């Protein structure tokens, strides 16, 4: 509905306002704020902010990033010098001191990705150089360390206890405005789907989050850290906040931090299942009373799931007593479980409730190092795909390492490539891959790389050919 404006009455009203302003006595009248309202002290977030602010820091990063080049010229002429072109960039974000004694700061992976230099500015103005302890792209969590005295840390809360409607406060450095504080409520829990390649279980909030807030603190009214601010939804061309912000739950960030401290990276376990979401129609077909859980569509032979007795058609409804909302929730639960830990699985099979136990395994321990049975693959190490890749709909085996000078390297194969078929036959796991490649003098590999795909031909005469195509 359009609003119609009437200039004359408004103009007359403005003249009246001006007249009143001019004729008013030149006295300033002010009233003191009441000390109490209905017998209670005036509410204010100032004491909370006073306690929490010193634990929030500004992060400035110098980074090296790859420059996008023309794939047409790369395909036919290759990259110049055999290396991607790079350039220096600068970025800014926020961080939260979670361990004052060790100088540990939680932030986002995307804040420090590719960093060649990380500088931290404290609330008291001190500027320090930080070292990267570890970073995990899949969860967008990073851990850095500074060496300094008299640091203030924030208490870690329990994000599992958050409920929609709880009041929260976001603190960070948006657009360079240091220690900006905004408040709001928890608008939603368990949000996902922003990036299919990530582990997502976001807290949604309407507390204003803007560029530069990334890595900052989301705290409850007890002053406890409940989330790491990570992303916003703009809904248009404007990069600013429209009331939909997302934070990584502190419980997830703490789990990632523990592994970054111990290993320097996150060692995600493998259950060995392909899964899909449970729709109301599927719930009816699988005799599941409630619309929650994840349907197992495929079990990898020899995997932890296979050894535990999980079958295609099983519906996993809980893990270690934690109800599974959907397939994303199951993926997150497995992906953040340490290698070697046991999972107690609650399953519905043909209407019956079953309890199964599975030990999470390291996919790297099931790696296949090519040997004399597959001479064309010499110098390559292959492993099963992790749960994240499987949940994205990928099927195949992962090339985890390539030795310099090997046929695989000469024909352009890289660590991170996913082999989806061999000689036009689909590959779903290591066992199938090994059977299809054994004692072969010619292999036609279909390779998935990022968002594109290509074919690679390996021959025993060393004249392998490569032909690639990118999805548009």
Q: pLDDT digits over 3-45, tens only?
A: 333 333 333 333 332 232 233 344 455 555 556 667 777 678 8
Whether the predicted pLDDT of 194 surpasses 90: no
pLDDT of residue 34: 59
Higher per-residue pLDDT: 239 or 355: 355
Alpha-carbon distance of 327 to 68, in angstroms, equals 34
* Cα dihedral sign, 302-308-312-318: negative
DSSP state of 451: T
Residue 97 pLDDT class (50, 70, 90 cuts): very high
- Give catalytic status of residue 102 as yes or no: no
- Give catalytic status of residue 198 as yes or no: no
Q: What is the CATH number of domain 159-263?
A: 2.40.10.10
Q: Which helix (H) or strand (E) holds 129?
A: strand 127-136
DSSP state of 375: G
Please identify which of the residues 109, 136, 140, 303 carries the catalytic annotation: 140
Residue 471 pLDDT class (50, 70, 90 cuts): very low
Instruction: List the alpha helices (DSSP H) in 298-453.
Output: 304-308, 327-335, 387-391, 407-410, 430-437
Alpha-carbon distance of 398 to 384, in angstroms, equals 6
Alpha-carbon distance of 453 to 469, in angstroms, equals 6
Whether the predicted pLDDT of 168 surpasses 90: yes
Which of helix, strand or coil describes residue 38? coil
Residue 132 pLDDT class (50, 70, 90 cuts): very high
Are 156 and 98 a contacting pair, CB within 8 Å?
yes
Are 424 and 436 a contacting pair, CB within 8 Å?
no
Q: Which two tokens stand for residue 190?
A: 């368990």
Are 334 and 357 a contacting pair, CB within 8 Å?
no
Q: What is the CATH number of domain 367-469?
A: 2.30.42.10
Identify the bridge partners of residue 231 per DSSP, sorted by sequence position: 246
- Give catalytic status of residue 110 as yes or no: yes
Question: Which of the residue ranges 74-78, 284-288, 459-463 would you say has the lowest mean pLDDT?
Answer: 74-78
Q: What is the DSSP string of 294-322?
A: EEEEEE-TTSHHHHHT--TT-EEEEETTE
Alpha-carbon distance of 192 to 467, in angstroms, equals 36
Distance from chain centroid for Cα 245: 14
Are 313 and 332 a contacting pair, CB within 8 Å?
no
Query: Strand locations in 138-210, DSSP E?
Result: 141-145, 167-172, 180-191, 202-205
pLDDT of residue 100: 94
Alpha-carbon distance of 456 to 444, in angstroms, equals 6
Alpha-carbon distance of 395 to 427, in angstroms, equals 7
pLDDT of residue 14: 30
Whether the predicted pLDDT of 366 surpasses 50: yes
Please state the domain extents for the chain.
50-145, 159-263, 273-359, 367-469
Residue linked to tokens 């103005």: 125
**How open is the CA angle 165-170-175, to the nearest 5 degrees?**
140
Please identify which of the residues 110, 152, 179, 292 carries the catalytic annotation: 110
Phi then psi dihedrals of residue 313, to 5 deg: 100, -15
What superfamily in CATH does domain 273-359 come from?
A: PDZ domain (2.30.42.10)
- Is it true that 50-145 and 159-263 share their CATH fold? yes
Alpha-carbon distance of 96 to 120, in angstroms, equals 11
**Contacts by 22-27, CB closer than 8 A, 24 or more apart:** none
Identify the bridge partners of residue 144 per DSSP, sorted by sequence position: 105, 132
Q: Which two tokens stand for residue 310?
A: 């999980």
Which conformational region is residue 264 in: left (phi greater than 0), alpha (psi within -120 to 50 degrees), or beta? left
How far apart, in Å, do the first and last CA atoms of the chain sit? 41
Residue 234 pLDDT class (50, 70, 90 cuts): low
User: CB neighbours of 118 closer than 8 A, spacing ≥ 6?
Assistant: 59, 60, 61, 112, 129, 130, 131, 132, 144
What mean pLDDT is predicted for residues 416-433? Answer: 87
User: Which letter, b or e, does each residue of 313-334 get, where b requires 16 or more Cβ atoms within 10 Å of its Cβ?
Assistant: ebbbbbbeeeebbbbbbbbbbb
Higher per-residue pLDDT: 238 or 70: 238
Please identify which of the residues 214, 255, 346, 391 carries the catalytic annotation: 214
Nearest to 169 by CA among 122, 123, 222, 210: 222
CA distances from 199 to 102, 119, 159 (A): 27, 27, 16
Kindly report the CATH class assigned to 50-145: mainly beta
**Residue 145, burial from CB neighbour count under 10 angstroms (0-12, 13-18, 19+):** middle
Identify the bridge partners of residue 93 per DSSP, sorted by sequence position: 59
């Amino acid at each position: 509905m359009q609003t119609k404006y009437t200039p004359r009455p408004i103009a007359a009203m403005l003249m009246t306002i001006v007249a009143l302003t001019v004729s008013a006595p030149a006295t300033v009248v002010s009233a003191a704020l009441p000390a109490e309202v209905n017998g209670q002290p005036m509410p204010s977030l100032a004491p909370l902010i006073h306690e929490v602010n010193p634990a929030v820091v500004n992060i400035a990063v110098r980074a090296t990033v790859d420059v996008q080049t023309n794939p047409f010229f790369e395909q036919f002429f290759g990259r110049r010098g055999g290396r991607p072109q790079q350039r220096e960039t600068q970025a800014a974000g926020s961080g939260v001191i979670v361990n004052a004694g060790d100088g540990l700061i939680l932030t986002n992976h995307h804040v420090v990705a590719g960093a060649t230099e990380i500088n931290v500015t404290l609330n008291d103005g001190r500027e320090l150089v930080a070292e990267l302890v570890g970073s995990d792209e899949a969860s967008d969590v990073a851990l850095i360390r500074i060496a300094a005295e008299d640091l203030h840390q924030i208490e870690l809360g329990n994000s599992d206890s958050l409920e929609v409607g709880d009041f929260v406060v976001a603190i960070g450095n948006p657009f360079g405005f240091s220690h900006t504080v905004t408040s709001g409520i928890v608008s939603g829990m368990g949000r996902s789907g922003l990036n299919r390649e990530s582990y997502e279980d976001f807290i949604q909030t309407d507390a204003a989050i803007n560029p530069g807030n990334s890595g900052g603190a989301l705290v409850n009214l007890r002053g406890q850290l409940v989330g790491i601010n990570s992303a916003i939804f703009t809904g248009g061309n404007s990069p600013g906040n429209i009331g939909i912000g997302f934070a990584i739950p502190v419980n997830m960030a703490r789990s990632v931090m523990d592994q970054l401290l111990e290993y320097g990276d996150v060692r995600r376990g493998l259950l060995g299942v392909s899964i899909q979401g449970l729709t109301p129609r599927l719930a009816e077909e699988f005799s599941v009373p409630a619309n929650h859980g994840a349907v197992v569509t495929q079990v990898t032979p020899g995997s932890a799931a296979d050894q535990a007795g999980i079958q295609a058609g099983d519906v996993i409804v809980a893990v270690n007593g934690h109800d599974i909302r959907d397939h994303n929730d199951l993926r997150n639960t497995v992906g953040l479980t340490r290698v070697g830990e046991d999972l107690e699985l609650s399953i519905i099979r043909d209407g019956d409730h079953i309890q199964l136990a599975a030990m999470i395994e390291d996919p790297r321990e099931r790696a296949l190092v090519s040997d004399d049975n597959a001479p064309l693959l010499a110098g390559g190490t292959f492993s099963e795909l992790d749960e994240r890749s499987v949940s994205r709909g990928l099927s195949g085996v992962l090339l985890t390492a390539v030795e310099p000078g090997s046929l695989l390297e000469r024909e352009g194969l890289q660590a991170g490539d996913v082999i989806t078929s061999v000689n036009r036959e689909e590959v779903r796991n290591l066992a199938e891959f090994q059977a299809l490649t054994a004692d072969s003098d010619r292999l036609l590999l279909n390779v998935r790389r990022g968002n594109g795909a290509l074919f690679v031909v390996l021959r025993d005469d060393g004249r392998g050919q490569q032909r690639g195509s990118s999805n548009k």
